[in-house]
Amino acid sequence: MFIPLIFLHRRAAATGDEPPSTVQDELAAQWYNPTDIATILLIIGGDVVQKAFAQGTGKPYVPVCFSFGCIAYTFMGLVNVIGDGRIMPPPDYPCKVINLDTGYARENKSFVVSRLLRDLEADEARFLTSRDRDFSLKITVFEAIRNRNGPTQFSWTYLHLIGIFITLGQLGIAAIPWALKGDWSLFLITAVGTVFVQWCGCLPQWTAEKLPTRQQSDAIYALTSGNGSRDIMVIIGDKCCLDLESLAAPHPPRNSRPWEKFTWLSRSISSGNAQYPGQGRRHSGLPEQHSWCFLAVGGLGMFQNAWLAAKELRPAMRNLPLRKVDQFIARKVMDGLMDFHTIYGRGIPLLEEFFPGPLFEAEARWWANDEFDDYEQERLSSGYRGTPRRLEPDRYPKYYIKPPPRRRATLAEIKTQAYGPAGPADDQSPTSETRGRSGRGRGVAGIGQRFNMEKYRRATGEEDMAGGLSSSAGSSPTKKRINAPISAAVCL
């Protein structure tokens, strides 16, 4: 009822006459000349346009077409620039980034990282058979490969070709009133709107927020929606990966850090630094009709914007080309984590994420490298959880990577070192030296409570990997990789 009342009021105000006697008359008039509908459509779709920009920006031509939502996006973008200074939309898919080398987990605040996880999960789901869909945990392992683009460049894709075709179609529709009745106003509106869209999409801040400063990371990242999720995407950096950890917690755009990768926007504002000669601070200069034809132009643009905003993109289109190397499909979450740790030696951070509480005795002994048989015999006797990968070394060789960097001891680990696994007695208290070293740890409920530090280091794979590297003739002293074939351990 609200929209017809607006129609009646506007017509009465424009003509000075009484409104039509029936609603049917007004609706018929709108079908003949739908001006009021077009006015209402101009206030919707701003968030869709913003996500379309986030998906397609990065080249001189942006595959975003002029639509009704551009008017609403103008005010939305103005509010964002005045507020936190960001023009990228917030993440729309739950995601957590875990650095498997250091064990630190970050809550994601990046639209790009959330879409990366969403698209990888959707793509991997297409390859599952009906027999494989009944799983509790699926860990897919990728290896980052060399990206041929520069630190601020993206590739041309089919998205740009589709955008050009739709833009030309919009201009063709807008030219119909000009050709028939000499009314060129709609063509002018469409052309100016298209230029405005391209100008907004070419702002370098889009690229500054979409790409981290460090783009050759060799860390190992795990992307997951968190505890309770059935999918984990592991990415082995190999000095070819975007720094997903810093991208998940980006610097504000008003900081000079996101702009350092733009050599033409950054300039040194000091001759040098006393501590780091030749490395001056960098500062970035912020770049701050006919109604039916109009409906057709705007509607076509809205359809293209919505399609682009929701489109699944390949990782290479986000400057992160990946190659799938392995997959673990388990009927029980603990089985999948153990199989992954057996091959890659990076299961401890995932264990802390998915099992933050105490473990069962057989599980704790497995992770402490004390005793494997109890847990694995129970797994084999179940009849449906499959064979542990540790028992099939010929079929699933280890993927040797360099040992994880030494990390700061947590409060729980310091207490374990000082007092043993049982913890301090009632009359014991940490010395002042111990209190000073401990700082603010990650809590006493961590994995350090379950077994001592020596066993913990063995569980992380440091000793096994060091032994494997030293015994490999002719291998690099820091890294040796044995690529396992693409396979899936389906626990049946």
Q: What is the pLDDT of residues 83-98, one digit of tens each?
A: 777 889 999 999 999 9
Confidence of residue 9 (pLDDT cuts 50, 70, 90): very low
Domain that holds residue 359: 334-425+433-487
Q: Please tell me which residue, 12 or 219, carries the higher pLDDT value.
A: 219
**Boundary of a domain, candidates 278, 301, 330:** 330
* Closest alpha carbon to 136 in 390, 391, 454, 355: 355
Residue 71 lies in a domain: yes
Residue 261 counted as domain residue: no
Cβ–Cβ under 8 Å, residues 118 and 317:
no
What's the chain's average pLDDT?
76
pTM: 0.73
More confident site: 470 or 49: 49
Q: Is residue 349 domain-shared with residue 313, that is, in the same domain?
A: no
**What is the number of other CB atoms lying within 10 angstroms of the CB of residue 124?**
15
Lowest mean pLDDT among 29-33, 196-200, 388-392: 29-33
Confirm if 358 and 421 have CB atoms less than 8 A apart: no
* Burial classification of residue 283, based on how many CB atoms lie within 10 Å of its CB (0-12 exposed, 13-18 middle, 19 or more buried): middle
**Structural domain contains residue 276:** no
Q: At residue 235, what are phi and psi to the nearest 5 degrees?
A: -120, 120
Residue 208 has pLDDT above 70, yes or no: yes
| Beta carbons of 203 and 87 less than 8 angstroms apart | yes
Residue 89 lies in a domain: yes
CB 349 within 8 A of CB 100: yes
**How many structural domains does the chain have?**
2
Under the banding of pLDDT at 50, 70 and 90, the label for residue 282 is very low
Tell whether 217 and 346 lie within a shared domain: no
